[in-house]
Amino acid sequence: MDQLLQHLLNATILGGTYALLGIGLTLIFGIMRVVNFTHGELYAFGAYCMYALVMPLGLNFFMALVVAMALGALLGATIELLLLSRLRGADIDTTMLVMIGAWIALQNAEQLAWTGVALSINNPFPSEPLIVGPLSVSWNRVYVFFVALLLILGTYYLINRTHLGKAMRATFQDRDTAALMGIRIDRIHTATFALGSALAAAAGALLGPVFVVAPTMGDLAAAKAFAIVILGGLGNIKGATLGGFILAFVEELGAGYISSGYRDAMGFLLIILILLFRPTGLFAQKERVG
């Protein structure tokens, strides 16, 4: 029983970060129709920013998260303006190839700058975990969970309740009409990519101190993010949030009670099953953002 409770607690905490990883990616796909292979690298970039800001520069741990997100948004905007803005109207395969190139370039740049040695980030939380009865969880993870929830709610609000969000949704629904209504499509694209990138960087900056920071850390994060997005339905923020939690529960319980060796396979097995029966993902009624 204690073991089950611990598994459930672990899965909930993990789910929050998975959801955060998923919404950044689903946003970019939903609005821009870009399969963003650099998502994992932006995640790693966020973690490296966090490392650089906290360890050598000595910036406040909580401030560093905000700065890392801003830098992530900046890098995202740069990628969009430098690469994607030239590819508007290009077919999805071309864009995909360019993004794969950017992914490899970014990952190797990280290794060149930081070497392959994993780095770790100190956190200001007590080193003793939070213990409730038979359960325990680190303070850092509790913090990560609540910040992730906050960011998810913030994104949800931005998309559904703000002018910018409305413009984003309009662009997605009908680009030409949106343009005719005076929406600056180019800016919406840049803003969307920057937002998605900032969320990825936030996930990296949050999880960097929990795990270790290494150039290849983005690969696994990207694989999970894609799984979550497919699970929840492409372009569906609510779906990605729930998808994140579902993946976490399936992985944690699968590893706990079936086989830990197949932990990562469980999630993908689930995706195959869902795609067989609901090809648009679990929560997509029809294609939409928000």
Partner 1 sequence: MKKLAGVMASAAILAGSLVTGAYAQETIKIGVTQPLTGAFAASGNYVAQGARIAEDEINRAGGVMGKKIQLIVEDNKSNPTEAVSTVEKLIQRDRVPLLIGAWSSTLTLAVMPKLEEYKVPMIVETSSSGKITTSGNPYVFRISPTSAMEAVAFQPLVKKMNIKKADFLYTNNDFGIGSGQEFAKMLKENGVQIGISETMDPKATDFSAQLAKIKASGGDSLFVTTAVEQLTIILKQAKEQQLKVRIVSCGGSNSPDQLINQAGEAANGSFHTVFFPPWFPEVVKNPEPAKRYMDEWTKRGHNVGGLTEGFRGYDAVYVAAEAIKKAGKAESEAIRNALWDVKVKGIYGDIAFTKQGPAGKESGQHMPGVYLVTISNGKVAKTSF
Q: Smallest distance from the beta carbon of 140 to partner 1, in angstroms?
A: 8
Measuring CA to CA, how many Å separate 140 from each of 11, 121, 203, 241?
Answer: 15, 12, 13, 21
Query: Rounded distance, CA 202 to CA 148, Å?
Result: 8
Q: Which is nearer to partner 1, 103 or 193 (CB)?
A: 103
Nearest distance in Å: CB 58, partner 1: 17
In the complex, minimum distance from the CB of residue 57 to partner 1, in angstroms, rounded to a whole number? 14
Instruction: Mention every residue, 6+ apart, whose C-beta is less than 8 A from residue 227.
Output: 243, 247, 267, 268, 271
Please, is 57 exposed, middle or buried when counting C-beta atoms within 10 Å of its C-beta (0-12, 13-18, 19+)?
exposed
Q: Which is nearer to partner 1, 92 or 105 (CB)?
A: 105
DSSP 117-142: S-B----SS-SSPEEETTEEE-HHHH
Token pair belonging to 241: 């949030």
Looking at residues 172 to 211 of the shown chain, list those that interact with partner 1 (rule: CB under 8 A).
211
CA distance 277 to 92: 26
Tokens 């003793």 belong to which residue? 128
- Measured distance CA(234)–CA(22) in Å, rounded: 10
Shortest Cβ 278–partner 1 spacing (Å): 27
Site for partner 1 in 140-159 (CB under 8 A): 141
Give min distance, CB of 52 to partner 1, in A: 11
Residue 220 interacts with partner 1 (CB under 8 A): yes or no: yes
Rank residues 29 and 51 by Cβ distance to partner 1 and give the closer one. 51
Stretches 2-10, 47-55, 153-161, 238-246: which one binds partner 1 (CB under 8 A)?
A: 2-10
Cβ-based nearer residue to partner 1, 144 or 289: 144
When binding is defined by CB under 8 A, the residue of 191, 229, 255, 282 that contacts partner 1 is 255
Cα–Cα distance measured from residue 271 to residue 264, given in angstroms and rounded to the nearest whole number: 12
- How many other CB atoms are found less than 10 A from the CB of residue 264? 16
Q: CA gyration radius for the chain?
A: 19
132 binds partner 1 (CB under 8 A): no
Least separation in angstroms between residue 256's CB and partner 1 is 5
Residue 127 found at the interface with partner 1 (CB under 8 A): yes
CB atoms under 10 Å from CB of 129, counted, come to 15
Selected binder of partner 1 within 23, 147, 152, 217 (CB under 8 A): 217
Q: For residue 8, what are its two tokens?
A: 């459930």
Q: Which of positions 100-119 make contact with partner 1 (CB under 8 A)?
A: 108, 111-119
Whichever of 144 and 188 has its CB closer to partner 1, that residue is 144
Q: Which residues of the shown chain bind partner 1 in the complex (CB under 8 A)?
A: 2-3, 6-7, 10, 14, 108, 111-120, 122, 127, 129, 131, 136-138, 141, 211-212, 214-217, 219-220, 251-256, 259-261, 263-264
